[in-house]
Structure 1
Amino acid sequence: MTRGDSLSRRLLAWLLLPLLVLGSLMLLQAWFEARRTADRAFDRLLEAASLAIAEQVQWQDDRLWLDLPPAALEMLATDAEERVFYSLVDRRGRMITGNAELPGDDREAVSDDDTLLYRDIAWQGLSLRQGVRRTRLEEWQLREPFEVRVAHSREGRDALAAELWRANLAMILAMAALAIVALLLAIRTALAPLTRLRRAIRSRDPRTLAPLELRLPRELAELRDTVNELLARMRRVRANQERFIGDASHQLRTPLAGLSARAELALRQDDPARWREALVAMQATSSRTARLAMQLLSLTRLANPEYRPELTPLSLNALAREAVREHWSACHRAGVDLGVETVAADVEIPGIDWQLAEALGNLIDNARRYGARHVTIRVGDRPPSLAVEDDGPGIPPARRLLMLRPFHRDRDDLEGSGLGLAIVDGIARTHGARLVMSAGPGGAGLRVTLVFSGDTP
């Protein structure tokens, strides 16, 4: 048995997709947050180093002088072995001392006293984080402005950012694992009623059509109710089939029993005339039985929901004329006047020729058997229609719908199977037509009309 797409897998995929997107955004945010945290930490070191250098600047011999303590730069050196640079610049922009001539910062300071500006620079092929402190000497006699420029490479910052991100990554992965486990449990719990429904259907006896009695959530309860409605329709179909089979068995059993009785009676006779009489009766009975069997096959085929014949364009005028040619001899022998009235313009509908021919044949045969002397086939064009009208005894209006039921006959003393109108009704439904029964010409007899819409059913 081939397995299609799994509902649980589809739910898991659609629920995991937003989780993956959210997890990716969380990882991205964790990375940027780790970078910001590392920058803030090292910027504080950069601030402390520049402040330590600025506190050692003095005025000596009419110029700025710096006695740099080793600790001022060592605080920026970590295990990542960053490269540290500094320079002391006077108010004219001249470098007083330092281990590198670092570029200045053109941005305006917020205030003139002890301002520190941070920025990322690319200098001589290196990516550096620079801090520029603009301050003055603290002596009361002289407040000479100067700049302390300090920069270091980003190895330590990157290492700290990576370490912080790895810690966040471990936490995010742990949360994702817990979320996936919770999601799997939630999906399994949510689909448990569906599993119970599947098992209940699979464990049922194929012969039973009893409704499902199972407590389910609202969404699955609607599915259960739909299945129960289907089972109810199947029960009605089976009941109709059983009734049809019983009626068909009864209808076939009577002529077959008559044939057996006639044959047994003929075997007891020695007179050839009696044999001939029995053979004639048996031939008539067998003809009626064969016709009944053909009608049963037609009705069974029309009642099959899987039967979907292809409809082709048909001319109603041609169908009516062909029906007259086919049944004229039988009607003439019975003393019935069979005629046809067509329209000037050809009327075409999508249909099945043999079914419509059988419908006309059943209507003509019914009219002939039930005592009509005049039968006319009429073709209409607005809307397209086929009608068979006769001057027979007709059917009372209150009993016309009952005549569409299989094996229902208006008169028990007349021969017939009670299937003719039921077959015509099934053919009308196959063609999307409406079957209308009304009184014949002058209010006598019966007119049966198939009114076509031109659309397939």
Structure 2
Amino acid sequence: MITRDSLYRRLLTWLLLPLLALGGLMLFQAWLDARQTADRAFDRLLEASTLAIAEQVQWQDERLWLDLPPVALEMLATDAEERVFYAIYDDRGRFVTGNAELPGMADAATGADDELHYRDIQWRGMALREGIRRTRLEDWRQRERFEVRVAHTQEGRERLAHQLLRGNLAYILGMALLAAAILVIAIRTALAPLTRLRRAIRARDPRTLAPLELPLPRELAELRETINELLARMRRVRANQERFIGDASHQLRTPLAGLSARAELALRQDDPAQWHQALVAMQETSARTSRLAIQLLSLTRLDNPEYRPELAPVALDELARRTVKQHWSACHRDGVDLGVEAPTATVQVQGLDWQIEEALGNLIDNGRRYGARRITVRVTDAPPVLEVEDDGPGIPATKRLLMLRPFHRGSDDPDGSGLGLAIVDGIARTHGARLSLEDGHDAQGLRVILRFPGDPR
């Protein structure tokens, strides 16, 4: 199953992917911010709790004594039912009082007084957040140093962090939905001119090749101009095809009308000799018509831009000898001296033998029809060149390019069709060869030269 690609889907994908990545980073940052905010809030409570406990420590009966107010621990007890632990240690690290013997911290003893140290610990299978405050009694009679350790489980922190994250998550999702909606609307708006262009092309009459007149943004205006250039080339191609069809119809109509007239005239006669004379004339006319039809088919195929034949090595010298042999009888009957000059070594080119043979046959036939008494087919090597030289009337230099156009004839010969040189030009372009028309020997006649790109050997 072939899936159709979509520019809208491609743009949406490539724009949403960065937004999704950015949303993921925002969610991760929101989670970090929520954790940090929860930690700061509970660390402040932990600090207040250690300070409240430290303020209640007294010196009584030659020892430290604590009358703990309930508020000192209740401030850490949230709705999450956290467990709170505390302990008092003297200056020598001995446990004084508390509801748990909490572990200490080595660097806390070297810190300044009233400095609070925080850390996360694992104690008896519980994850605790512990605060350690190193302080002393504020009594003018006794300045005993001691240490307050308070720890609590982290359910409240986690709960607060999740509450903060849910609040941020709702905000982020709202912004993401708004950004996605704006993105979809923006892409649809940006692609709207392309939709108009597609609808304008679809709504056009397939028979018209008029240029598109549609206001578009700069990027699509370039596409519109490219389409208009293509339409202009198609108009030229159609004009050439219509001209070709008109010329071909005119060329075929004349011999067909002649055949009809000869047949009608013969039907009115009773003399067998006149019938025979009409049949001979009809046979000559049908032969010319058949040759014209073959030339039209060849020219049509050569003018097809999708016609890309596969070329193969061709022996140019052998092909020249074979073609001269095929046309020798007709030339001899008309008193034309036809010959070939070719090297003994094989001259190979990359091409199609039947096309090169057709081009060579057209050149020989043109020379024979237009008054040449001597025609020479010449093959040379390094680089490969095929040329046909005759001593006929030739073609003026100013008209040589016109002779390459279909149905353009240099004389009023009724047997000519004006397609021979046009077919030769098309075959030359198919083989990548360069066609040139030059004067013959001693500026007499015409020399048609085909210079091939190189020897494939």
> Which TM-score applies when normalising by structure 1?
0.95
- Could you say if the C-alpha distance between residues 301 and 65 of structure 1 is closer, same or farther in structure 2, counting changes exceeding 3 Å? same
In the alignment, what sits opposite 2:433?
Answer: 433
Deviates more, 1:4-13 or 1:165-174: 4-13
2:90 is aligned with 1:102: no
Alpha-carbon distance, 1:301 to partner? 1.0
2:152 is aligned with 1:157: no
Alpha-carbon distance, 1:296 to partner? 0.4
Alpha-carbon distance, 1:343 to partner? 3.3
In the alignment, what sits opposite 1:92?
Answer: 92
Residue 107 of structure 2 aligns to a residue whose secondary structure is: coil
Q: Which runs of 5+ in 2 are unaligned?
A: none
In the alignment, what sits opposite 1:313?
Answer: 313
In the alignment, what sits opposite 1:20?
Answer: 20
Residue 193 of structure 2 aligns to a residue whose secondary structure is: helix
Letter in 2 for 1:374: R
In the alignment, what sits opposite 2:73?
Answer: 73
- Could you say if the C-alpha distance between residues 414 and 254 of structure 1 is closer, same or farther in structure 2, counting changes exceeding 3 Å? closer
Aligned equivalents of 1:379 and 1:186: distance in 2? 68
Alpha-carbon distance, 1:318 to partner? 2.5
Alpha-carbon distance, 1:302 to partner? 1.0
Aligned equivalents of 2:422 and 2:109: distance in 1? 101
Alpha-carbon distance, 1:383 to partner? 2.3
Residue 376 of structure 1 aligns to a residue whose secondary structure is: strand
Alpha-carbon distance, 1:261 to partner? 1.8
Map Cα deviations across residues 345-395 of structure 1 (whole Å, 9 max, x no partner).
Answer: 433332222111111111111111112222222223322222222222211
Alpha-carbon distance, 1:414 to partner? 5.8
Residue 232 of structure 1 aligns to a residue whose secondary structure is: helix
2:231 is aligned with 1:222: no
* Count, aligned residues: 456
CA contact (8 A) 2:384 2:455 kept: no
Aligned 1:42-53 pairs, distance under 5 A: 42-53=42-53
Aligned equivalents of 1:140 and 1:350: distance in 2? 117
Aligned equivalents of 1:255 and 1:282: distance in 2? 9
Residue 152 of structure 2 aligns to a residue whose secondary structure is: strand
CA contact (8 A) 2:136 2:145 kept: yes
Residue 107 of structure 1 aligns to a residue whose secondary structure is: helix
Letter in 2 for 1:200: A
In the alignment, what sits opposite 1:421?
Answer: 421
CA contact (8 A) 2:130 2:152 kept: yes
Aligned equivalents of 2:91 and 2:380: distance in 1? 112
Alpha-carbon distance, 1:422 to partner? 0.6
In the alignment, what sits opposite 1:392?
Answer: 392
Residue 113 of structure 1 aligns to a residue whose secondary structure is: coil
Aligned equivalents of 2:313 and 2:61: distance in 1? 118
Alpha-carbon distance, 1:202 to partner? 1.0
Residue 394 of structure 2 aligns to a residue whose secondary structure is: coil
2:198 is aligned with 1:187: no
Aligned 1:38-437 pairs, distance under 5 A: 38-107=38-107, 112-413=112-413, 415-437=415-437
Deviates more, 1:53-62 or 1:168-177: 53-62
- Could you say if the C-alpha distance between residues 408 and 377 of structure 1 is closer, same or farther in structure 2, counting changes exceeding 3 Å? same
Letter in 1 for 2:12: L
The percent of aligned pairs where both chains have the same amino acid is 75
In the alignment, what sits opposite 2:451?
Answer: 451
Map Cα deviations across residues 309-343 of structure 1 (whole Å, 9 max, x no partner).
Answer: 22222222222222222222222222222222223
Aligned equivalents of 1:437 and 1:142: distance in 2? 127
Alpha-carbon distance, 1:235 to partner? 0.9
CA contact (8 A) 2:428 2:450 kept: yes
